[in-house]
């Protein structure tokens, strides 16, 4: 088996900013409530005519540039998302065409907020077994188009964005050390979008009833997220016979600062090792971890050789962690 490393990173968030004052005019909420309960000050959302691959394309191009490769070098595309441009074909196929990476295998992985962790885990195995040498992995979502802007319990939380990495065989100390994935489908009905699938196809009635919007039992999600993100972070460290002290950086899924702080606190990770972008972008599901990773690489916080733990939880429920040396 080959060692697999991350060659380049990239990300993109849309230009349109929605601040908390925008929501205070829309629903019964306040800037103070949103910041104290979620840590979110602003989020980015796409324009009505924009879709997921409009963000994935620049994110991917930036990752390819950092990796020093071109679209013609890509031999596999794996895209973690639950909000593709359209129901079919996959976002990865549309992105493949837009990049000009013609003919290579391309597929989406739908795993809720850990979509990027799941996608990275799958993609890594193609490089490890020697069958691929340059794999583009993306995580991204357009949550704003599935958000009920009349529901104060969800609308303040979500935004849009995408992040990407390029994987290849390691030629130095960089290495994806392990990936751990879990799911518990018994709890699917605590976080879901009911309409638009084969159970409830879109109809005038389903749209009028708002079945195409994301619904969530916020408190239950919160509890399970803290418990399972803590467990799977420890699983990653134990598997590699490492401790919290070995970590340089912790990148949790950016859903809510209180979830992130609770997990870091239980693990004993100091705040200065936690990468935080939830304040400026809100929760954009599978896009948050690769975007936080890219921003911290580009601003010089994460350096080659650093030990990084990624950790996410989301709809399914699904959860997962990645431990890597950059």
**Helices in the chain by DSSP H: which ranges?**
20-26, 31-38, 52-67, 91-99, 115-128, 152-155, 204-208, 218-239, 257-267, 278-281, 288-298
- Residue 79 CB, shortest distance to ligand ACO, in Å, is 17
Binder of ligand ACO out of 113, 162, 166, 267 (CB under 6 A) = 113
- Residue 25 CB, shortest distance to ligand ACO, in Å, is 13
Out of 20, 134, 180, 283, the active site residue is: 283
**In sequence order, what DSSP letters do the residues of 46-109 get, joined into one string?**
--TT--HHHHHHHHHHHHHHHHT--GGG--EEEEE-SS-SSSSS-HHHHHHHHHT-TTSEEEEE
- C-alpha distances (whole Å) from 21 to each of 155, 291, 293 are 13, 25, 28
What's the rounded Cα separation, in Å, for the pair 291 and 165? Answer: 10
Q: Are 116 and 137 in contact (CB under 8 A)?
A: yes
Binder of ligand ACO out of 45, 101, 106, 191 (CB under 6 A) = 191
133 is a site residue for ligand ACO (CB under 6 A) = no
Binding letters toward ligand ACO, positions 221-250, x by CB under 6 A: xx----------------------------
What's the rounded Cα separation, in Å, for the pair 203 and 90? Answer: 23
Q: How many residues bind ligand ACO, per CB under 6 A?
A: 22
- Residue 285 CB, shortest distance to ligand ACO, in Å, is 5
Pairing of strands 76-80, 135-142: parallel
Stretch that binds ligand ACO, among 14-22, 167-175, 213-221, 242-250 (CB under 6 A): 213-221
Residue 134 appears among annotated catalytic residues: no
Residue 253 appears among annotated catalytic residues: yes
Q: Are 138 and 115 in contact (CB under 8 A)?
A: no
215 is a site residue for ligand ACO (CB under 6 A) = no
Residue 93 appears among annotated catalytic residues: no
What's the rounded Cα separation, in Å, for the pair 167 and 62? Answer: 14
152 is a site residue for ligand ACO (CB under 6 A) = yes
153 is a site residue for ligand ACO (CB under 6 A) = yes
89 is a site residue for ligand ACO (CB under 6 A) = no
| Residue 110 vs 314, nearer CB to ligand ACO | 314
Binder of ligand ACO out of 11, 38, 144, 291 (CB under 6 A) = 38
Q: Are 118 and 313 in contact (CB under 8 A)?
A: no
Render the burial of 229-238: b for 16+ CB within 10 Å, e for the rest: bbbbbbbbbe
302 is a site residue for ligand ACO (CB under 6 A) = no
- Residue 287 CB, shortest distance to ligand ACO, in Å, is 10
Catalytic residues: 113, 253, 283
Binding site for ligand ACO (CB under 6 A): 29, 33-34, 37-38, 112-113, 152-153, 156, 191, 216, 218-219, 221-222, 255-256, 283, 285, 314-315
């Amino acid at each position: 088996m080959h060692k697999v490393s991350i060659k380049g990173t990239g990300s993109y968030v849309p230009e349109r900013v929605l601040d908390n004052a925008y929501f205070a005019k829309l629903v019964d909420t306040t800037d103070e409530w949103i910041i104290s309960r979620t840590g979110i000050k602003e989020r980015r959302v796409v324009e009505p005519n924009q879709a997921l691959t409009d963000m994935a394309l620049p994110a991917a191009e930036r990752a390819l540039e950092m990796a020093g490769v071109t679209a013609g070098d890509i031999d596999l595309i794996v895209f973690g998302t639950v909000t593709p441009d359209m129901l079919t074909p996959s976002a990865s196929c549309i992105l493949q065409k837009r990049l000009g990476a013609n003919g290579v295998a391309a597929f989406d992985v739908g795993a809720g907020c850990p979509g990027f962790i799941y996608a990275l885990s799958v993609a890594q195995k193609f490089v490890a077994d020697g069958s691929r040498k340059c794999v583009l992995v993306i995580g991204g979502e357009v949550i704003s188009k599935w958000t009920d802007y009349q529901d104060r319990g969800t609308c303040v939380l979500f935004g849009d964005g995408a992040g990407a990495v390029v994987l290849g065989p390691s030629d130095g100390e960089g290495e994806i050390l392990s990936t751990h994935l879990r799911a518990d489908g018994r709890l699917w009905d605590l976080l879901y979008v009911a309409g638009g699938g084969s159970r409830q196809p879109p109809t005038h009635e389903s749209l009028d009833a708002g079945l195409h919007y994301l619904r969530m039992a916020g408190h239950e999600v919160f509890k399970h997220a803290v418990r399972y993100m803590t467990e799977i972070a420890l699983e990653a460290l134990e598997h590699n016979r490492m401790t919290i002290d070995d970590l340089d950086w912790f990148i949790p899924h950016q859903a809510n600062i209180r979830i992130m702080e609770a997990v870091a606190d239980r693990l004993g990770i100091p705040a200065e090792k936690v990468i935080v972008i939830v304040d400026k972008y809100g929760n954009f599901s599978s896009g948050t971890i690769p975007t936080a990773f890219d921003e911290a690489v580009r601003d010089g916080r994460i350096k080659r050789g650093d030990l990084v733990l990624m950790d996410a939880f989301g709809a399914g429920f699904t959860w997962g962690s990645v431990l890597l040396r950059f």
